Amino acid sequence: MFIGEYQHNLDDKGRLAIPAKFRGQLSEGAVVTKGLDNCLSLFTKEGWDFEAERLMNLPLTQAKARAYARFMLSSAFPVEIDKQGRVNVPQALRSFAGISGSTVVTGLGDHVEIWAPEAWEEYRSHIEKDSGNIAEELGI
Amino acid sequence: MFIGEYQHNLDDKGRLAIPAKFRGQLSEGAVVTKGLDNCLSLFTKEGWDFEAERLMNLPLTQAKARAYARFMLSSAFPVEIDKQGRVNVPQALRSFAGISGSTVVTGLGDHVEIWAPEAWEEYRSHIEKDSGNIAEELGI
DNA sequence: TGACACGTGGGGAATAGTGGGGAAACGGAG
DNA sequence: CTCCGTTTCCCCACTATTCCCCACGTGTCA
């Protein structure tokens, strides 16, 4: 289970240090992809296989399903953790999330999310303010 | 599994470099054909056999099924990967997809797609904007 | 206070992407 | 039938990028 929030640097070679507490679960290989709301998602191998299975079972003859599958699959890259516990974030994903230099790495239970600090700050403050209302709306 | 998005050049001899991560799966031979939305599709040998099977089992008495099968089957060409990891894209397919010079190569799980950069950019930006809505609509 | 682990930076080797040249095959004309 | 020209295909070489390994500094825990 991935939980917590960490602040790490992305060096000029595009390498991002994974928090030590997450490494064990990701050591078998991981997949990084574009997430919703302009962040990046990092899945374990198993988590990704599950996600990919769902995408490939969509009715690809339908334009919207095809578009969504294309979006998710084309933006996914397999990554490996090196000896220092870092992963290489591809250039395309870095520019998508607006990441360069410092980043925020958060645990989301079954996966990890990578945010640009400004985007995260804005999103977080927004949720914190409204979390009561959101919870009521969801009925949880 | 083919995933990811890569920017490669098609040289003036019509050769397209296949991303290194895709080569292993395509080394046994591949088939390139026209895809939906004005891109090209690149299948593994097995993937193509499956696809062709599906097409040949369509009810060929229906005009639309007949047209679709003709479209896919008649525009398919077997290709081989050379020592440098490139394939020769036939002239007819190049002009269909509007490819010359730089191209975008994307992984779609069971096959690979080849796009003209402008077409891909337009398609992608359109999806990115709507990905949240589409995901909610599809209920996934 | 010492030792260990985590985060960070840099350098070297391997590999991927690209362009060009030469040989073989094909087609057409004499 | 032969010769020439064109085209296609394959191989080689260069360059840039990526990947991997090693080393350092800092913070934390015992």
Condensed to tens digits (0 to 9), the pLDDT of residues A74-125 reads: 999 999 999 899 999 999 899 889 998 889 999 999 999 999 999 999 998 8
Q: Which nucleotides of D are covered by protein (CB under 7 A)?
A: 9-13, 18-23
Q: How far is the CA of A85 from the C1' of D28 (A)?
A: 19
List the single residue in A54, A68, A74 with the smallest CB-CB distance to B4.
A74
Rounded Cα distance, A94 and A91, in Å: 5
Cβ atoms of residues A105 and A34 within 8 Å = no
The answer to whether the beta carbon of residue B82 comes closer than 7 angstroms to any atom of strand D is: yes
pTM: 0.89
Q: How does pLDDT run across A30-86, given as a tens digit for each residue?
A: 999 998 888 999 999 999 999 899 888 888 778 888 888 888 899 999 999 998 999
For residue B109, which residues of chain A lie inside 8 Å, CB to CB? 52, 55-56, 69, 73
The answer to whether the beta carbon of residue B45 comes closer than 7 angstroms to any atom of strand C is: no
**What architecture is domain A5-138?**
3-Layer(aba) Sandwich (3.40)
Closest CA–CA distance from residue A9 to any residue of chain B (Å): 24
The answer to whether the beta carbon of residue B35 comes closer than 7 angstroms to any atom of strand C is: no
Closest CA–CA distance from residue B11 to any residue of chain A (Å): 23
Q: How does pLDDT run across B76-125, given as a tens digit for each residue?
A: 989 999 889 999 998 888 888 998 889 999 999 999 999 999 999 999 88
